[in-house]
Amino acid sequence: MAIIRDRRGNFRRGSATKVKAISSLEIEGIALREAMILAKNMEINNVIIESDCQPLMEALKSGGTLWKIDPILEDIQKLKIDIPLCDFTWIPREGNKVAHLIAELKGQEHLPQNRSYNYVPQLMNVL
């Protein structure tokens, strides 16, 4: 799942996909890769990617590896080449409420069937 906000913090677009994974680290990596794809498709050249998954953020910032998800990390690094200004930052879970709400709504099938959406009424209170 990915959320795109403008520089004022206003919600612009989101995407959520159900995936099967063996770990939360893998899910976080897949979500981050999805965010990169969404930003690339929207032709956004200045991106700050936030996640509450500290090991993932540290690996991306340092160029390190996480053997469990190295193929996903490689995909993210390749996508980063097409986004001139891209940075990764860790935020605490409390700062990631919108992302967790989208994941919950997708799990309960309260989001549209298409992968991307521009307006979801349940998100407006959190945003």
Residue 72 has a pLDDT of 95
- CA 28 to chain CA mean position, Å: 8
| Range name among 1-5, 82-86, 105-109 with the lowest pLDDT average | 105-109
pLDDT band per the 50, 70, 90 thresholds, residue 117 = very low
pTM summary value: 0.74
CATH for 84 = 3.30.420.10
pLDDT band per the 50, 70, 90 thresholds, residue 115 = very low
**Interval 27-52 mean pLDDT:** 90
pLDDT at 40 over 50: yes
Mean pLDDT for all residues in the chain:
80
pLDDT more than 70, % of the chain: 73
Residue 109 has a pLDDT of 66
Q: How far is CA 53 from CA 25, 72, 118, in A?
A: 7, 14, 25
SS3 state of residue 11: strand
Residue 116 has a pLDDT of 47
Number of domains making up the chain: 1
The whole domain housing 114 covers: 2-123
